[in-house]
Structure 1
């Protein structure tokens, strides 16, 4: 077989220029400036002049050759395309565009036609014109209906509106992958744009010809999809072409509510109702969209977790892991549909007709072994029924990393009506109690209640509390003249005898550490720890507050006890006083600044001879606590 490879090659041609000298004529008033060439040929016994061949970046680059043996009707050459097998290291599929260096005027043609055959009966995924690796403004294609046989057959792709193609560069494009794991070969010949005159009965459609009703909000944007045009050919066959938005003229019945641009992008600007329709070449398109704008939309709370401690499934705040689908539509029992929307740049999942739905992220699975929680923001846009129940199941695929392999494990939580809020966002952080979380791959949402059909979802992610702070504690701003500092890089510190007394909890370990270039103290497995200034007690009688910055990944309760030795300045002399303050549920994974009025230490009758400072953490002897900036001030 004689094949010639064309990889990123340019087929050029020469134009002979004839100069006629000595003629002295005025230019006629009827003269028209030359336009783009009206050449519809692409491959007729060889390439039309001026074409470039560009394979898609992840395709099999050597898929295309010029074949001089397998041709249509004895022609000199045909285009041959080789589709690789599954797993071919040189490319996953065969696909490319054929583009001219300058545009052509195709407005006098009504179809792209070609003869084709396959090495076996197969269906071409996508083939069309209008792709130029630029705007692709007038792209058109047929998807999944070009059925090849082993015999030559002519195929026709009608042009949605030829008048638009006055300077088109994208002459031909295709994409085809292996079927049933194996590749094959196919041929095109006599590829050209033609004026058939038999392309009739144009029937454009938007939204696949459906009349839809959707609710939306101010600031939301969406694109009109399902853009097609169906034609009837001389054979009586109907052919449907997927058409780019620029072929259509869109309109909004109430532009004060929503506008729509030439690319079919809708922008909601006020409350109210409008109907989106379109025409193509003067023909009304089937299908419409009735938009009901409910007014302003309250966005979900912006997550504040450090991205370094987050594995995101769906959030605009973080980079999301690869997701197979947010709605896999498990037939035949699932009724849940997706009507997702974007408001002011925030993407929101919108599930309607809800019974159950799944989000899959299995390629690859997620290793959440360092994560502690799963986060969900849920909005109920409908009347909240007392019987509403939203069950959320998180599934790990086990060591084999495959669902249904026999080693899967689940954890579930159910949100009831009292957990949710009608017309507002509710945020949930669910503890990841699942036994194995190295291969998480699926989240399932189930309607286990009554009269529950619709909810919005945002900020779905796994997160963990870091085990140590990534940044230093806030720098104190109290004037040094008003401070008695025990430990802070911002002030001159008094003498501290010990940061861990020998009577502290046995499991508690103390060490000096550096955090982001700043000195800090760390207590590992804090139960209780004693800190002493017994050799020189502190007179804080002129101070009003005790300050301490703490950071912990897991503390749930933190206590501070102050002990004053009394006028005799000695322990156990009968005039000692003390009081303990408890701080419940301090924020985890961030610095918390405690600034406690000394008047809150009710039982601390003296403040002139402070000698002991006891810190207590819960859970007892299992929590780690970092401290900084420990001082008194007024």
Structure 2
């Protein structure tokens, strides 16, 4: 009986000291500088302290360690991980995440991360230092949460990281905060907008930003630069070109403290058109997308079953498409297409300069529906990109695709899978690998081109009826053009070229010319 009594006393003693009996330190930050998740010292933005995320434990947000104090502490019992839902907060201006935590579980591990659905990283777990059987009062700097902007925080999670199980932790005063600034010396902005939209990742403490625009965009303008202190002043210097740089110089109310915000404008995508495809008979081409040929019908350029998006752009007057990849893009054809007579596949693509190509792929795929009731076969090209910052042409025999014999009598879908993120494409088509002869089928009479052969550097002249001349390599790359009946051969290497003329009626003729 004595042993049982002693055991019960020890058990009561253990439980009596397995939970806090004191409150966490009282917060000292001003409410104006705080966004609170859980604290009796502030107004909280949390909406649900116990969402069902498949966690093992329970939550009690009303544990009172000191009777009569009126201070609530949140208990996570049998903790492995736990989430909290918030009203969405733009707290990009906050500098720290504060947490008070108490645990007596030896070996317990605790990490925390806000969860953001705006710009930057969605989450990044950071370790919370623990004190055994005592309050640990921790301020985690925003910089510790690598890649996060905190511009749209809607959840917060704590993670036990497979620490001692079960563990119980007690939490209080979970809030984001920033350093108080004396208004007279405040030279920060509270908002910075370019073309009417707040700059991604904006924070009053961050002075430099990079904003990217597609080729052909107008020079962007800073449209809003709001000083945090209304008595401060700011001077905006707009960029004069794209690419370019704009600045905002803020001078505090005291007239001496200053801060400069810099916005660097960069450009993505090609600034020249893809090579113009060579002239071919209509019966020798099946074009999915190209300004050079008549395209077959497409009902969806991004299907409901893909995870990517596509948009139309123009570069140097030529239509191209920009693909933003998840994993793959699906294109739905309007009709079943028989490409059995075609021998080659062509696609031009452009990858932004500086893109890391390690492990990257571009894989075009055609889906054949022989019975017209679902895919019966498919063939895919394994492309490994090696060049950035310029147009690259895939022009390969269809036999180089996998899954021979590449049945293509009823093509119904086209797909591109890639892990590049962004890709620009043009001139997607099948062809028979034949070029027009000396005269286009539409020409009413032969056009004379002279001299032929031509010595490099000489002028090439066509009949007076000609209004436009273009010169192509034998692989179809346009190297020269002229909006007149003459064109210079300056810069052309020795060899065989194709020369295309267009007259006032729009009639075309393609011929061969030799540069010697």
Larger radius of gyration: 1
Q: Normalising by structure 2, what TM-score?
A: 0.35
Q: Normalising by structure 1, what TM-score?
A: 0.30
Say which structure, 1 or 2, has more relative contact order (CA 8 Å, 6+ apart): 2
